[in-house]
Amino acid sequence: MSDSLILINNEKIFKEDNNFYCDNIDIKSIPEGLSKHFKISMIGRNSKIKRSHKINQVETKLGSNIIAFLFFIFKTFKHKDNKYLLVSITPYTFFAYLLLLLFRKKIFVYLRSNGYEEYKHIVGSWGIFLYHVMFTVVSWKAELISCRSHILKGKAGKVVSPSQLGSNWFKLHKKPNLESVKLLYVGRIKVEKGIFSLLKIFKNLKIKATLSLVGSGKSNNFEKIKQENVNLIEFENKNDSIIEIYDNHNIFILPSFTEGHPQVLDESLARLRPVIVFKEISHVIGNREGVFVCERDLTSLTNTINHIMSNYQAIEEKIIQNKLPTKELFLNQLVSIIKDI
C-alpha cells in the first residue's frame, strides 16, 4: 500500500483524548474505507463542540483557522507523490485547491451536492456567483468526482454511487405499523434541508400523524422546534442501530431544497419504507421504486401520504425490486478512480 492520499474537508471535527469525532458520516466512512487501499491522512477544521461519529485509525490534523488549515496542507508537500482528495467546494477547500495547484499536486474533488443550489439557499442569490467562481477555477485542473452527472455542469468527471449500506440493511425486515402515519426525517436541521418549510406544512396537517426528526449530534436548531406531534431525536448511529428507527416509522420524508445523492433515501428503501420528496429534488428518484414526489404545500402532501397508506403493500412489493448501491461498491469506485489516474 504505497499510495498516499490526503483527504481535505471543510467539516468541523472534535478532538478529545487523541480521538476525533465528526457529524457527517461521510467524513468518517470515506477515510476509514479508503485506508484499506491507501496510506491516508485527513485535514479538517477544529470544533469546540462534541460531535457524534468517532473516526477510527485515521491520522487527522485540525486547523483552528484558514492559516493553520493551509499550513497543515503545506507540511504534506515533503512527500512529493501524495494525492489529494478534496470533499466539496467551500471557501476552505477552495484555498486548499489554490495552494495545491501552485505546487502542482494531483487533486481530486468529490462533489456531494449541487453547490449552486446549496449556496443560493444558504447565503442568497449572490451565493450562486460565489460558487460559480470557485467551481470554474477548481474544475480547470482538478479531477472531478460527483454523485450525479448534472452536478458536473458539463465538465469532465467520474460519477459514483454514495452509500452506507452494508449487509445488515437488507436483513430481518420488520413489518410496518400502519395504524397511524409515522413520518421520519434523518439529517441536518438546517434551512437548506427544508425542514422548517416542512414543519409549517405539518402544523396544519389534518390527518393523524407524527413526525420524528433525527439529527446527528447536538443541534442548536433543535431549540427552535417545539411543535405538537413532532419528536426530536439526538442520535448517534453505532453499528447500524439507526435501522431500528427506520423500522419504527412507515414513511420517510426528505424536504430538502437541494440534494445530490441522498443516502438516507436508499437507507429507507433498504428497510422497505416508502419515501416522499418535494419536486425541487425529483431528480434523486432515478430508477428507484417507492419514491413519491409532491408539491411543497398542504394539499399535495396530504394526498401523497393518503395514497401511500392506502396502497402500502403494493408499494412495498415494488420497493423490493430495487437494486440499491452498497458501501462496498461506492468505496471500490473511489479507489478505482484515484488509483487509475
How would DSSP label each residue in 163-229? Answer: ----GGGGSSPPPPP-SSEEEEEES---GGGTHHHHHHHHHT--S-EEEEEEEES--GGGGG---TT
pLDDT (mean) for 192-206: 89
Q: How many residues does the chain have?
A: 341
Same domain (yes/no): 129, 175: no
**CA contacts within 13 A on the Cβ side of 252:** 25
CA distance 112 to 170: 24
Is residue 224's pLDDT more than 80? Answer: no
Same domain (yes/no): 159, 217: no
Same domain (yes/no): 90, 188: no
Is residue 172's pLDDT more than 50? Answer: yes
Same domain (yes/no): 21, 152: yes
Contact of 53 with 25, CB cutoff 8 Å: yes
Same domain (yes/no): 259, 123: no
Same domain (yes/no): 221, 278: yes
The CATH number covering residue 153 comes to 3.40.50.2000
Lowest-confidence region among 108-122, 265-279, 286-300: 108-122
- Residue 101's pLDDT is what? 96
Same domain (yes/no): 93, 180: no
Is residue 241's pLDDT more than 70? Answer: yes
Same domain (yes/no): 12, 151: yes
Tens of pLDDT along 103-144? 999 999 999 888 888 888 778 888 899 999 999 999 999 999
Number of domains in the chain: 2
Averaged pLDDT of the chain:
90
Is residue 187's pLDDT more than 90? Answer: no
Is residue 1's pLDDT more than 50? Answer: no
Tens of pLDDT along 27-61? 999 999 999 999 999 999 999 988 878 899 899 99
CA 253 vs. chain centroid, Å, equals 15
- Residue 221's pLDDT is what? 59
CA distance 225 to 277: 21
Same domain (yes/no): 212, 173: yes
CA distance 328 to 33: 9
pLDDT (mean) for 228-257: 85
pLDDT (mean) for 71-84: 93
What pairs with residue 186 in β-bridges? 214
Phi, psi dihedral angles at 267 (to 5 degrees): -65, -45
pLDDT bucket at 173, cuts 50 / 70 / 90 = very high
- Residue 222's pLDDT is what? 58
- Residue 204's pLDDT is what? 92
Is residue 341's pLDDT more than 50? Answer: yes
Same domain (yes/no): 104, 219: no
Is residue 2's pLDDT more than 80? Answer: no
Q: What pTM does this model have?
A: 0.84
Domain that holds residue 199: 167-319
pLDDT (mean) for 64-69: 96
CA distance 276 to 181: 13
Is residue 284's pLDDT more than 80? Answer: yes
